[in-house]
Structure 1
Amino acid sequence: MSAVDRRVKDLDTIAAVLPMERRDELAELLTDQDVETLRHLVNEGMGANTLRALTSDLAYLQAWSLAATGRSLPWPAPEALLLKFVAHHLWDPEKRLTDPGHGMPADVEHKLRLQGLLRVPGPHAPDTVRRRLATWSTLTKWRGLEGVFSSPALKSAIRLAVRATPRPRKRKSAKAVTGDILLKVIATCTTGSLRDVRDRAILMVAFGSGGRRRSEIAGLRIEQLQPEAPIPIEGGAPLPSLSIHLGRTKTSGADNDEVVYLSGRPVDALNAWLAAAKIDKGSVFRAIDRWGNVSRRPLDPKAINDILKQRAKMAGLDPGEFSAHGLRSGYLTEAANRGIPLPEAMEQSRHRSVQQASEYYNSASRRSGRAARLL
């Protein structure tokens, strides 16, 4: 068995938390020690989303190192290599017009593009560079080594590079999926087909449970759903209700079981999907093949994004203006528009940062407030 085949086999043991469509690619890029580190982190209970992000960053770093130096990442990395990484990823597009040697060398860029690891033109976003350096630093510490990631030279290089190429901060989704937009999107799911029933449930559950992250929706399992007592409504039928146990999330502690609630029509939509797909255990939201067969495996988180964009296009909206994160920002924006207090909305969205959550509230109140309507 070759080293690559052995790594493929080892990666199969942690298939539940890694993007397995990239398994062979990861086996080619990562070293034996890299794979062993990832397996250790899975056994230690690292969150699946964190591990996926870490693995993606590590694969990119390894590919860049091979392309830029002809060698795998050294542990620990010398300061010169860290500075080279910054120079290759944070550069001035205008200066490159007159100096082709500025920024990432053409041969390095070509190799990364061939591997599908470099997609967008121009320099990286500063936050992406900082995150990958943080991943590099974390992995260095896990190997019991000391890095130079806090060196004055590295900090200064990043600061000067960011200052030289200012760029406006973009939100993850250009538009929030507020209630009115959600209704238009859901209106495309009316045929009663399995795909329509599933997509309707995905969109309503994601929004109604507080604007869940796409990874939380894709990874949702029957075992996380707990029926609750119906909610009495004066003069009407009680609303069905259930709780969703999220377990450990991106912003919760290791031992915290985050719980959110779902009531009314989203519960009906979810139950309709489970009944139609005959799902009583395992993954809630699954792929459907061209013949209408429901897979046993969960949807990939990217599929949640694709579903929203496809439905937005079917509704006559510009799919480029929406992403799955728009369901999360849309929930808070809609809560603000309806006058729901911020703390109450945060209990459902599970935002930990008041500053982050209040951005959506402030935007909604400013847009509809008197200060924006002086003329």
Structure 2
Amino acid sequence: MSELDRYLQAATRDNTRRSYRAAIEHFEVQWGGFLPATAEGVARYLVAYAGELSLNTLKLRLSALAQWHNSQGFADPTKAPVVRQVLKGIRAVHPAQEKQAEPLQLRHLEQVVAWLDEEIASAIAEQRQADLLRARRDRALILLGFWRGFRSDELCRLQIQHVEANAGSGISLYLPRSKSDRENLGRTYHTPALQRLCPVQAYIEWINGAALVRGPVFRAIDRWGNLGEQGLHANSVIPLLRQALERAGIAAEHYTSHSLRRGFATWAHRNGWDLKSLMTYVGWKDMKSAMRYIDAEPFMGMAVLQDPRARS
């Protein structure tokens, strides 16, 4: 790989590259399209999958096709009026409400952490090292993911050498890059220690108990208690969270890794955080992104405006 190719590749995130490769393969192999494509060909492709794929998926396919044509020096057919009109028509004919993860409520956070505490105590008493490590890892991941509002990929990319935790004080976590960090400048996140449900103490107990000094914070654990060298994959956070919730007696089928982020955003909103403070803390750049995560009571603000007592 040349230096030019290396820097061009670094400009696009791994997940995006994989998604784009899959999208191009779908266009060429599964649908039978030809590259470089014409605007009419792209429009027919959209029509072929309008009732099968979501609008967001179709937009991703268009982005992949646009990127391929631009990188190869061809005119971008996805910008043609016919493609835009077809996409607009699909949006009108196949409206779909966006599916959102169920926010993890504070009472359920308390319930699952209490259960994990019991699992830790039982594993210590019975000397079950693998179960002890797994419960400590899960408790740290869930508490840190909730109180810091991290995405699953951010949790999985945390490196011990980029984390500084002080018991009873707080924790700082540096991420060289994240989805919201478009310029790859890196950002340090801070979270205070808490009297209850403390992410700082949970992190320290996990790291010390696992005897970790460098590398990924959260890793796979086999049945014998051996830790993996690589960090957890972002896709593994959903089953990990659901299994922990189910063991605690919580129906977990509607929870995803976004439930931690939405749970914190909802908790903060209901406890009086203004939107600007919440956006700064979590790292959202625009209001639309933030509002998607807040599970607020519908029409609450409108009810206040219409209440005559509000005018006095």
Name the TM tier (shorter chain): 0.7 to 0.9
Partner residue of 2:142 out of 200, 203, 206:
203
Aligned ranges for residues 108-119 of structure 1 at < 5 Å?
A: none
Letter in 1 for 2:150: R
2:258 corresponds to: 325
TM-score between the two structures when normalised by the length of structure 1: 0.70
Kept in 2, the 8 Å contact 1:243–1:259? The answer is yes
Letter in 2 for 1:52: N
- Residues 127, 263 of structure 1: alpha-carbon distance in 2 compared, 3 angstrom cutoff: same
Note the alpha carbon deviations across 1:276-314, whole angstroms, 9 max, x for none: 111100111000011111111110101111111112222
Aligned ranges for residues 201-280 of structure 1 at < 5 Å?
A: 201-209=140-148, 211-227=149-165, 239-264=168-193, 265-280=198-213
Letter in 1 for 2:247: M
2:5 corresponds to: 40
The yes-or-no answer on 1:57 pairing with 2:23 is: no
Q: CA deviation at 1:64?
A: 4.2
What is the percentage of aligned positions where both structures have the same residue?
22
- Residues 148, 218 of structure 1: alpha-carbon distance in 2 compared, 3 angstrom cutoff: same
Letter in 2 for 1:203: I
- Residues 361, 59 of structure 1: alpha-carbon distance in 2 compared, 3 angstrom cutoff: closer
Q: CA deviation at 1:327?
A: 0.9
Partner residue of 2:46 out of 76, 86, 89:
86
2-structure distance, mates of 1:366, 1:164: 27
Letter in 2 for 1:128: T
Q: Secondary structure at the match of 1:319?
A: coil
- Residues 41, 52 of structure 1: alpha-carbon distance in 2 compared, 3 angstrom cutoff: farther
User: Structure 2: where are the runs of 5+ without partners?
Assistant: 121-131, 308-312
1:152 corresponds to: 81
Letter in 2 for 1:180: R
Letter in 2 for 1:46: A
Partner residue of 1:194 out of 129, 133, 158:
133
Kept in 1, the 8 Å contact 2:146–2:260? The answer is yes
The yes-or-no answer on 1:291 pairing with 2:203 is: no
Aligned ranges for residues 331-342 of structure 1 at < 5 Å?
A: 331-342=264-275
Kept in 2, the 8 Å contact 1:337–1:365? The answer is no
- Residues 366, 308 of structure 1: alpha-carbon distance in 2 compared, 3 angstrom cutoff: farther
Letter in 2 for 1:84: R
**How many residues in Structure 1 have an aligned counterpart in Structure 2?**
289
- Residues 51, 225 of structure 1: alpha-carbon distance in 2 compared, 3 angstrom cutoff: same
- Residues 223, 346 of structure 1: alpha-carbon distance in 2 compared, 3 angstrom cutoff: same
More relative contact order, 1 or 2 (CA 8 Å, 6+ apart): 2
Kept in 2, the 8 Å contact 1:240–1:268? The answer is no
2-structure distance, mates of 1:366, 1:303: 36
Kept in 2, the 8 Å contact 1:336–1:364? The answer is no
- Residues 316, 127 of structure 1: alpha-carbon distance in 2 compared, 3 angstrom cutoff: same
> Which has the higher mean CA deviation after the structures are superposed, 354-363 or 334-343?
354-363
Q: Secondary structure at the match of 2:190?
A: strand
Kept in 1, the 8 Å contact 2:40–2:83? The answer is no
Kept in 2, the 8 Å contact 1:336–1:360? The answer is no
Kept in 2, the 8 Å contact 1:221–1:281? The answer is yes
- Residues 365, 169 of structure 1: alpha-carbon distance in 2 compared, 3 angstrom cutoff: closer
1-structure distance, mates of 2:295, 2:237: 28
Over 4 Å off, 4+ runs: 41-44, 359-362, 364-371
Q: Secondary structure at the match of 1:259?
A: strand
Q: CA deviation at 1:157?
A: 1.4
> Which has the higher mean CA deviation after the structures are superposed, 304-313 or 197-206?
304-313
Letter in 2 for 1:188: W
Q: Secondary structure at the match of 2:75?
A: coil
Q: Secondary structure at the match of 1:281?
A: coil
